[in-house]
Structure 1
Amino acid sequence: MIRKLALPLAAALIVSGCARTGEIEVDGGVGITAVRTACPIVGVPAGTGDVTLFDPPASRDAAAIDVTATITNVRVNCGDVGNDVVSTVTFDVQARRARTDAARTVALPYFIAIVRGGTNVTAKRIEQATLNFPAGEARASVQATATSVISRSAATLPQEVREQLTRRRRAGQEDAAIDPLSAPGVRAAVARATFEALVGFQLTDDQLRYNLTR
């Protein structure tokens, strides 16, 4: 249900002290090396990347569509601040309205939620994107930002798990073909240290239902 804007979980788990992001290492059958980062994976939950306002509000007829808006151009800047990992997510809200006779201001609420291990929402904050439509203009856009703060210690794998993931496995070894993530303890530790920063419109139940069923 989430459109990822970074490497999927399975591709971003191996920790390497020397590999660069996206680097492929072929060395005696070691295979692909990827870099895991403490920065959260950024994404937009399915069904929350656009919103439709109706006039009258209870109608769902195409002729009653008043304003439509979409979240696009999602970008992230992530870095260390003391003992925390701070990510600033920037995105554009692009909107279109049906009636253009007068100037109009439309405020659309959006959220940033921090999810740990794929299921546990640890924090959520709601803000507003304000769109200003000049008279005669059907389109408007605004840039919005949202910030997440995650403890670096929480996003860091324990040393013993790092060693299990990065230990070199040579062809012919008994466990060469065994995925270290198949071990329940390793998989659980990786999930606990994996965070997502999700942004989307703060929709009502009716708005979300409309997005998922139209």
Structure 2
Amino acid sequence: MTSPAFRRSIALATVAVPALLLAACDRNPLVVRRSSCPAVAVAAYAGDMTLFRPGAAGTVADAANMDAVATITTVRDDCAETSDQFVSRINYDVIVRRTDAAPARQFVLPVFAAVVQAGNIVNAKQISQVTVNFAAGQERAVAQGTATAAVSRTAAAVPQAILDKINRKRRPGELDAATDPMADPEVKAALRAASFEVLLGFQLDDRALAYNIAK
């Protein structure tokens, strides 16, 4: 079942559009280039994880029992093309700040990477663990995490008929010369179906997710 974090996050990830020549004449400079590599973003409400001391209920009223706060940040991705896939290798940092800096401690945090198609279809999801170590007296620590996501070249391709409709030369005086092809519902649907993104976030339970939404 798709987490509410996915459903609320789709609008935050930028989805690139195909290479378009929106031209009413041969030399219109308005060209939008599209990469078939998926965009990468942190899912809304899943980029932070608040940990409470054992026995705390984990609600807004339990702020006094807060143990640590973890944040996903500094996301980098490198996309490589193979004969049949676009493969994204993603690196990110996890920063943790704790309230009790006295003892040496270790936090093991679950992080998901989900491939989302057309804005709302989860095609694949992997969960990995990021380990953050604190020395005695250390209040803030950083660890690095990695993820890999693959998208089929076929699925990410816009049909040639749609590209032809977008790039068709439009001459002054024609009925649709000033019509934006991107407004065509068929074009919109085809571009959306060929759009992919990778969403990162902490794997939260319902209580932790509700806390993030409420704060």
TM-score by length of 1: 0.87
- Matched AA of 2:73: T
Name which of 39, 42, 47 aligns with 1:41: 39
In structure 2, what is the Cα distance between the partners aligned to 1:14 and 1:114?
Answer: 19
Paired position in structure 2 for 1:22: none
Higher relative contact order (CA 8 A, sep 6+): 2
User: Aligned-residue CA RMSD in angstroms?
Assistant: 2.3
Query: How many residue pairs get matched?
Result: 204
From the superposition, tell whether residues 36 and 105 of structure 1 become closer, same or farther in structure 2 (CA, over 3 Å). Answer: same
CA contact (8 A) 2:85 2:151 kept: yes
CA contact (8 A) 2:18 2:191 kept: no
In structure 2, what is the Cα distance between the partners aligned to 1:201 and 1:125?
Answer: 11
Paired position in structure 1 for 2:57: 58
Percent identity of equivalent pairs:
42
Paired position in structure 1 for 2:5: none
CA offsets per residue over residues 99-120 of structure 1, 9 Å max, x none? 1111101011010001110111
Paired position in structure 1 for 2:160: 159
Runs of 4+ in 1 over 6 A off after TM superposition: 25-29
In structure 2, what is the Cα distance between the partners aligned to 1:114 and 1:88?
Answer: 12
Alignment of 1:15 onto 2:12: no
Paired position in structure 1 for 2:170: 169
CA contact (8 A) 1:73 1:91 kept: yes
For structure 2, the 5+ residue unaligned runs are: 1-7
In structure 2, what is the Cα distance between the partners aligned to 1:112 and 1:137?
Answer: 29
In structure 2, what is the Cα distance between the partners aligned to 1:65 and 1:189?
Answer: 47
From the superposition, tell whether residues 178 and 131 of structure 1 become closer, same or farther in structure 2 (CA, over 3 Å). Answer: same
CA contact (8 A) 1:113 1:198 kept: yes
Query: What secondary structure sits across from 1:190 in the alignment?
Result: helix
For structure 1, the 5+ residue unaligned runs are: 20-24
CA contact (8 A) 2:165 2:181 kept: yes
CA offsets per residue over residues 29-79 of structure 1, 9 Å max, x none? 735211111101111111011110011341432211101011111111001
